[in-house]
Amino acid sequence: MRLRDLFAPCAIAVALAGVAGHVAAEPAIYKDADHKLGVELIEQNQCQACHIRRVGGDGSAIYKPQGRINTAAFLRGMVEQCNTELNLGFFPEEVTSVAAVLNRRHYKFTQ
Ligand code: HEC
């Protein structure tokens, strides 16, 4: 038996665990989110630059998972509010995608 055969079932188990964990962790309202688009929108709209001016570091201290934003829907609402206030002109699905990226990176809400 070759070493590779020995490890193959293991790799499958890890992959399955990854998929299952992923589905369980993603809030329903983000299930259609386009993460690639969300990342692009965050990069293109000075989110980080402005947050750095406010809190320093890499700007991520602005995202407070233990703060008043405590659900995926609330987080999406916050991004919607920024969208309106900053006149970003995001479409609803773009707001969802940006919120979903922030959730995966920082908030980790499951609902
Ligand atoms: C012109 C400056 C500026 C820009 C640009 C900006 N933000 Fe913010 N953002 C802020 C400030 C200031 C706060 C803190 C508000 C507070 O805590 O009262 C904030 C807070 C937030 C919060 C809430 C954090 C929390 O957990 O309380 C989110 C989410 C957020 N911004 C998302 C974004 C996204 C996404 C973008 C880009 C699409 C963006 N912001 C662009 C200034 C900015």
| Tens-digit pLDDT profile for residues 61-96 | 999 999 999 999 999 999 999 999 999 999 999 999
Q: How far apart are CA 19 and CA 86, in angstroms?
A: 36
CB 41 within 8 A of CB 90: yes
* Alpha carbons 111 and 107: distance in angstroms, whole number: 11
Query: 13: CA distance to ligand 1 center in Å?
Result: 39
Domain count, the chain: 1
Distance 62 CA to ligand 1 centre (A): 7
Asked if 42 and 98 count as a contact pair (C-beta separation under 8 A), the reply is yes
Q: Which is more confidently placed, 16 or 3? A: 3
For a mutational test of ligand 1's pocket, the pick from 47, 60, 97, i.e. the residue with the most ligand atoms closer than 8 A to its C-beta, is 47
- Domain span at 13: 3-107
Residues 13-41, buried b or exposed e (16+ Cβ, 10 A)? eeeeeeeeeeeeebbebbeebbeebbeeb
Of residues 11 and 102, more confidently modeled: 102
| pLDDT recorded at residue 25 | 74
Residues 6+ apart with CB under 8 A from 70: 109
Query: pTM for the full model?
Result: 0.82
